[in-house]
């Protein structure tokens, strides 16, 4: 199965997920990997340097469709 989880929305924050991490520098790199079929596996996707500390805290909503397939 596949899922997108916003961990801050979990009722029980103590949750263990085991899968290899695939790390990207930005959302465009992730989008290219998705289009190339590189994410057709169990994995935890990490986009580095995002969130409240990021410059301008960019919205990443455009990544929800590829990750939720």
Whole-prediction pTM: 0.65
Domains identified in the chain and CATH numbers: 7-67 (3.50.30.80)
- Measured from the Cβ of residue 30, the count of other Cβ atoms closer than 10 Å reads 23
Average pLDDT over every residue of 4-20: 74
pLDDT in tens, 51-69: 666 666 566 667 777 766 5
Is the pLDDT confidence value at 37 over 80?
Answer: yes
Q: What is the DSSP string of the chain?
A: ------GGG-SS--------EEEESSHHHHHHHHHTTTT-SS-EEEETT-STTSTT----GGGHHHHT-
If one compares 46 and 66, the residue with the highest pLDDT of the two is 46
What stretch of H or E contains 21? strand 21-24
What pLDDT sits at residue 41?
87
If one compares 7 and 35, the residue with the highest pLDDT of the two is 35
Average pLDDT over every residue of 36-58: 78
């Amino acid at each position: 199965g596949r899922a997108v989880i916003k961990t801050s929305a979990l009722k029980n924050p103590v949750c263990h997920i085991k899968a290899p991490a695939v790390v990207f520098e930005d959302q465009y790199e992730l989008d290219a990997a998705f289009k190339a079929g590189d994410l057709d596996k169990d994995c935890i996707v990490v986009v580095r340097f995002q969130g409240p500390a990021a410059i301008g805290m960019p919205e990443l909503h455009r990544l929800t469709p590829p990750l939720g397939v």
